[in-house]
Amino acid sequence: MRAMRTARAGFYGVGLSVMLMVALRAAEPTVAVGVARIDITPELPIRLSGYQSRPAEATRVEAPLTARALVIGSDADGPVVIVTAEVIAVSEALSEAVAVAVRAKYPVIPRERIAVCATHQHTGPAIAGLIPFMFSRDLPPEEIARIERYTAMLQEKLIAVALAALADRRPARLAWAQGTADFAVNRRLIVDGKHTGYKATPGGPVDHALPVLRAVDERGVVRAVLVNYACHCTTLKGGDNYVHPDWAGEAAQRIEAANAGAVALVAIGCGADSDPQPRGLAAVATNGGTVADEVARVMAGEMSAVGRVTSAAFRRIELPLGRTVSREELEARLKGKQNVAYAAAQFLRQLDAGKTLPSAVPYPVQAWAFGGDFAMVFLGGEVVADYALRLKRELGVSRLWVNAYSNHVPCYIPSRQVLKEGGYEADHAMDYYGWPTRLAEDTEDRIVRTVHELLPANFGKGLGP
């Protein structure tokens, strides 16, 4: 009889636990979630972007490229759309084309609720209109034609994957948590306060946070995973002249393999001054596996439930260049290195055509708030780690997620400290991106101030700068 009472008590205890779990799950917010993926592998041959040293077009696909989309929210809620693409960058023209097509079919979705992000891998096709002086020479017409055809195809597929995700929506529950990964290492060697070259520099600014957003359906099956890590997608090097999605693509494939039927999106954080270690083809599996393993660990633990996006904002600002460059200076640059001389020649052609040189860089900033305790920021360009570290200090490290390479990649975005130190991210990369000089010293403050202005007034209240 005593054994029967003990068994009955155990039964009721288990039953109460199950009922409690069901009640807790029922209390979690439910939101409509849609996902989709699409192949964006180019036809061959095609010129790859990211490294100038490649002597010819790529003629081999080592691994396919993919674009993925995630939609959160019903039409009544005000949905948001995020698209990630395994490409070197996205232009304003590409992201605007996606936004226009989405709004044409879903007028309830304004521009501020659509984000397009690139993984910035360096073993994918060149994109028309992006990094215009990448190769420091004029490409043959047939190569340009292939790049333009790929760009047109890419635009169609980014639109298609966004619309497919919108059509796929069904009830789900969202949760997020942060993990860490340590294969990103600062690459700026600083001696006596000045940049002296590329070298893995442990202790330099880096953001090792690995935030994870998960969507599960009503049965608890994972439908979507969005993960972010702040590191260049440069496990593969300039001598690797084949198509490959690098560590970000490897991570996405592994996460999807571990969660049958799920779509895994990888976005890149503020890692413009961070390179992966180790590097090389064998290291792609190592670095991608590190991300996938950490995602699995994070999802097996406690995650914070979140609901729909309650506030979304988007603003294009102007980032002034640091100074005016004269014709005489450009003519002197013609005697410099190939990349410097080529860029100077293009600027002189503009002046000869009666045009003025640009004085500012157009720059997109976007922010989504999921209530008052979690926000996601989208910054354009190749953003260095200082930005994410500062924003998290000011707005809360445990509730802020910062994506870079979003909506438009006009150039590197150096911090005040990086501008002070100089070097590639501050100066030399501008030749490839088609700007005559560096950005102004107040660039960091302009961008950070805009993020603060785009988030709800009560977000981060009481934390202080």
Task: Report pLDDT digits (tens) over 313-330.
Answer: 999 999 999 999 999 999
Structure tokens at 408: 């438009």
Please give the average per-residue pLDDT across 43-56, as a whole number: 96
| Distance between first and last Cα of the chain | 66
403: Cβ contacts below 8 Å, ≥ 6 apart: 115, 117, 228, 267, 268, 269, 376, 377, 378, 379
* In a domain? residue 438: no
In a domain, 214, yes or no: yes
Supply the DSSP symbol for 357: P
Is the predicted pLDDT of residue 51 greater than 80, yes or no? yes
Closest CA to 244 of 288, 191, 179: 288
Q: Which amino acid is at 440?
A: A
Bridge partners of residue 366, in order along the sequence:
314, 378
Domain boundary among 375, 390, 412: 412
Residue 240 contacts residue 54 (beta carbons within 8 Å): no
Q: Are residues 253 and 291 in the same domain?
A: yes
pLDDT in tens, 363-392: 999 999 999 999 999 999 999 999 999 999
Residues near 293 by beta carbon (within 8 Å), at least 6 away in sequence: none
Torsion of CA 457, 228, 100, 103, to 10 degrees: -60
Q: Do 152 and 219 have their domain in common? A: yes
135 falls within a domain: yes
Residue 143 lies inside a defined structural domain of this protein: yes
Please report the pLDDT score of residue 266 as a whole number. 98
Provide the pLDDT for residue 459: 87
| Residue 29, pLDDT score | 84
Mean pLDDT along residues 428-434:
98
Give the model's confidence band at 27: pLDDT under 50 very low, under 70 low, under 90 confident, else very high: low
Inter-residue contact 103 to 70 (CB < 8 Å): no
Q: How far is CA 388 from the centre of its chain?
A: 13
Domain membership flag for residue 440? no
Please give the pLDDT value at position 6.
43
129 with 103, same domain: the answer is yes
Residues whose CB is less than 8 angstroms from the CB of residue 13 and which lie 6 or more positions away in sequence, other chains included:
none
List pLDDT tens digits, range 160-213.
Answer: 999 999 999 999 999 999 999 999 999 999 999 999 998 999 999 999 999 999
Same domain, yes or no, for 369 and 354? no
Binned at pLDDT 50, 70 and 90, residue 461 comes out as low
Beta pairing class for 360-369 and 375-379: antiparallel
On whether residue 353 sits in a domain, the answer given is yes
Q: Are 340 and 369 contained in the same domain?
A: no
DSSP 295: H
Whether residue 403 sits in one domain with residue 332: no
Domain hosting 341: range is 325-358
Same domain, 277 and 353: no
Q: Are 179 and 293 spatial neighbours (Cβ–Cβ below 8 Å)? A: no
Kindly state whether residues 290 and 202 are assigned to the same domain: yes
DSSP for residue 308: S
For residues 75 and 165, membership in a common domain is answered with yes
**Do 221 and 160 lie in a common domain?**
yes
**pLDDT at 358 > cutoff 60:** yes
Q: For the chain, what percent of residues have pLDDT higher than 70? A: 93
Please tell me the predicted confidence (pLDDT) of residue 3: 47
Distance separating alpha carbons of residues 276 and 255, to the nearest angstrom? 19
DSSP 150: H
Pair 284, 403 in one domain: yes
CA distance 151 to 456: 36
* 275: pLDDT strictly greater than 60: yes
**Phi-psi category of 30—alpha, beta or left, where left has phi over 0 and alpha has psi -120 to 50?**
beta
Rounded Cα gap, residues 112 and 115, in angstroms: 8
- Burial state string for 22-54 with b = 16 or more CB within 10 A and e = fewer than 16: eeeeeeeeebbbbbbbbebbbeeebbbbbbeeb
Q: What angle separates helix 443-454 from helix 385-395, to the nearest 10 degrees?
A: 40
Looking at residue 7, its pLDDT comes to 43
| pLDDT category of residue 146 using cuts at 50, 70 and 90 | very high
Q: Is residue 88 part of a domain?
A: yes
Mean pLDDT of 30-51: 98
Residue 463 lies in a domain: no
User: What's the domain count of the chain?
Assistant: 2
| pLDDT at res. 460 | 64
Average pLDDT score over residue span 209-231? 98
Residues 117 and 262 occupy one common structural domain: yes
